[in-house]
Amino acid sequence: MEDIKPQLFKVTIDGIEVEVEPGTTILQAARKIGGDVAPPAMCYYQPLKGSGGKCRACLVRVAAGSGKDPRPMPKLVASCITPVQDGMIVENSTNEQVLTTRKAIVEFLLINHPLDCPVCDQAGECDLQNFAFNHGMATTRYEEERRTFEKQDIGPYIQLHMTRCILCYRCVYTADQITQKRVHGVLGRGDASEISTYIEKAIDNDFSGNVIDVCPVGALTDKTYRFKNRVWFTKPVDAHRDCPTCSGKTTVWYRGDEVIRVTARKNEWNEVTEFICNTCRFEKKKTSDWVIEGPTKISRSSVISANKYRADTIKPDFQKKLAAATYTHVDDERDTSQLGIQQLPPERFAPVLPHANDPEP
């Protein structure tokens, strides 16, 4: 019988106070508040133990270490791996140094990332694209050669395009933690390091497909879906089936009547809630395979929720000014019925409703 409630820690992030359990990281506490208070995360992935700390996108300033010891921390800290203390005061999007550093991190990540979003399957649901749009610069200062790799087939279902990889290590942790034996890893060092299997071995196990879902960019893609469609033309629905291997709970992506892709379900932070098996993911591509539960809830961060990149949704802060100034609205007069998706209802073009956590004007 546990009657004693665990003592909660009070943390202030960007001036908003939140109570969390001891052991929570700053990032998780910030996500509890939500909105712009939550730092971006390119490598941290809550379901994967040990992930985080690598991309440095989530760096925040700790203005006061704790109530007992209110000294600030000397350096910016990675919020995804730093546990909170009672009385801690954190500055995220309110701190100029944090935003400048974040801009630098985008620049670093984009040095060796190709600008091939127009032909990349991940475009529209890409963490890096969102991160760069929210925090990056509109231009680059990097003039030197970029690294490139040949595309690699790792098994019958997955293609690895290392050129796009940002070395978040998520797929390595996924293979370590949810499959029997990991056959891929990081080879090489520094900016010559690459995700690979040793001598192009095929990744072959029932859960290997999950590396596609955890990949924040388009480095690991689904070969059954490659170049089939753009994510914003598809319609996701939650569905399930009786699967002997996994929970069978998935998101099925439709284009018209055709199932073109199956993925695991993701939460609002783009993290898989339940990993699914390869049979569900790659082989059940008929509506009759699935029991449809209903439309998937689209998070505001998704490109499928309309107007994600529209100029009037861009707030004047966060380096978005420049993008807004050069944006010209193009009326979308295409006959979308031909694409097999519903005509977009007019309210989806209405200005986005104020967010609960928007600061008061």
Partner 1 sequence: MGKKILLEHIDVPGIETYDVYRKQGGYTAVEKALKTMSPDGVVEEVKKAGMRGRGGAGFPMGMKWSFLAKPEGIPRYLVCNADESEPGTFKDHYLMKNIPHLLIEGMIISSYALGANKSFIYVRGELMYVIRILEKAIAEAKAAGFLGKNILGSGYDLELVVHPGGGAYICGEETALLESLEGKRGNPRNKPPFPAVKGLYQCPTVVNNVESIATAGWIVNNGGDAYAAIGIGRSSGTKLISASGHIKKPGVYEIELGVPVEEFIYSDEWCGGIRDGHHLKALVAGGSSVPILPANLITKLANGEPRLMTYESLSDGGFQTGTMLGSGGFIVFDETACVVRNTWNFSRFYHHESCGQCSPCREGTGWMEKVLHRIEYGHGSMHDIDLLVDVSKKIEGNTICPLGDAAAWPVASAIRHFRDEFEWHITNPSEATKPGAVFKGDMALV
List residues near partner 1 by CB under 8 A: 52-57, 59, 75-76, 78, 81, 101, 104-105, 107-109, 111-112, 141-142, 144, 166-167, 169, 185-186, 188-193
Q: Which amino acid is at 356?
A: A
> Which C-beta is closer to partner 1: that of 107 or that of 268?
107
Q: Name residues whose C-beta falls within 8 Å of residue 313's C-beta, 6 or more positions apart in sequence.
A: 307, 351, 352
Q: How far is the CB of 56 from partner 1 (least distance, A)?
A: 5
- Measured from the CB atom, the residue of 107 and 238 that comes closer to partner 1 is 107
Burial pattern 259-289, b for ≥16 Cβ within 10 A else e, equals: bbbbbbbbeebbbbeebbbbbbbbebbeeee
- Minimum distance of partner 1 from residue 301's CB (angstroms): 21
CA dihedral 151, 154, 155, 157 (to 10 degrees): -60
Q: Which is nearer to partner 1, 29 or 105 (by Cβ)?
A: 105
* Encoded tokens for 16: 């908003």
> In angstroms, what is the minimal distance from the CB of 153 to partner 1?
24
Give the residue with the Cβ less far from partner 1, 168 or 239: 168
Structure-block tokens of residue 359: 């600061």
- Contact, 290 vs 253, CB < 8 A? no
Q: Closest separation between CB of residue 203 and partner 1, Å?
A: 19
CB-based contact 37:14 (threshold 8 Å): yes
Kindly tell me which of 191 and 274 has the beta carbon lying closer to partner 1.
191
Q: C-beta of 235: minimal distance to partner 1 in Å? A: 34
